[in-house]
Amino acid sequence: MGKDKLRRFAEFSSFENCFDFPRYLKGKWHSDYFKNNHPIVLELGCGKGEYTVALSEAFPEKNFIGIDLKSNRMWVGAKKAIEANRNNVAFIRMVIEKLAEHFEKGEVSEIWITFPDPFPKDRHDKHRLTHQRFLKLYKEVIHDDGVLHFKTDDDGLFDFTCELFEQLRIKPIQLDRDVHNSETVDSYVKNIRTHYENLFSAKGRKIKYLSFKLPAQLEEPVSKA
């Protein structure tokens, strides 16, 4: 492993806005870390945390937490937040699958899913972050009225998600298949661009966006067989 990566790993753990699998904060993020009652917004698979940091500037009245497995990537966002004196930002190194071990039901108000790995093979569909398995997980932590945001360059993943939502009777709040040329999406959807978003749009791929709420009951999808 490179020296720079090792240094970032070590620094991540020492930053006051960074945490490794902090199960002890479950249900206590407001009281023990943010020390306010502002809504908590998560970015899942945040990479370098562009959304987490940019949204924290745009919405100082909300708290933001970036989540990823790779602390050397989150180091970039964590350092930016520290240098900008942003006290409404944190980063957690953990696996998304363990969300419910880290947050109480209702502790989270919004979730961003930004450019997740598409897992193009059908047999790997359960690993897609918009698979029903993950929607159930998000439901365990998000407020009943909470909004989820999903951005991707990947047509297959976007189509899979739209089809699943139809089967589950989840109505999109907003759906756009070409965000960068859209006149209707909010500026924070169009203008905040992640590392992967820049890579993919430079290759000419259209960036797609979907926002939605989870229904009270997540019904089983209708089988195609």
Ligand X SMILES: C[S@@+](CC[C@H](N)C(=O)[O-])C[C@H]1O[C@@H](n2cnc3c(N)ncnc32)[C@H](O)[C@@H]1O
Which chain residues interact with ligand X by CB under 6 A? 45-47, 68-70, 73, 95-97, 114-117, 194-197
**CA-closest candidate to residue 57, choices 37, 80, 79, 28:** 80
Which residue has 């997540």 as its token pair? Answer: 218
Contacts of 91 (CB under 8 A, 6+ apart): 12, 15, 17, 18, 19, 46, 49, 52, 65, 66, 67, 68, 71, 74, 77, 78
| 12 versus 196: smaller Cβ distance to ligand X | 196
Q: Are 18 and 12 in contact (CB under 8 A)?
A: yes
Q: How far is the CB of 14 from ligand X (least distance, A)?
A: 21
| CA-angle at 139, arms to 137 and 145, nearest 5° | 160
Q: Which residue type is seen at 113?
A: I
Rounded to whole angstroms, how far apart are CA atoms 114 and 47? 9
Which of 193, 216, 215, 214 has its CA nearest to residue 205?
193
Q: Is 117 a catalytic residue?
A: yes
Candidate list 4, 20, 117, 144, residue with the active-site label = 117
Report the residue number, 15 or 167, with the smaller CB distance to ligand X. 15
Mind telling me the catalytic residues?
117
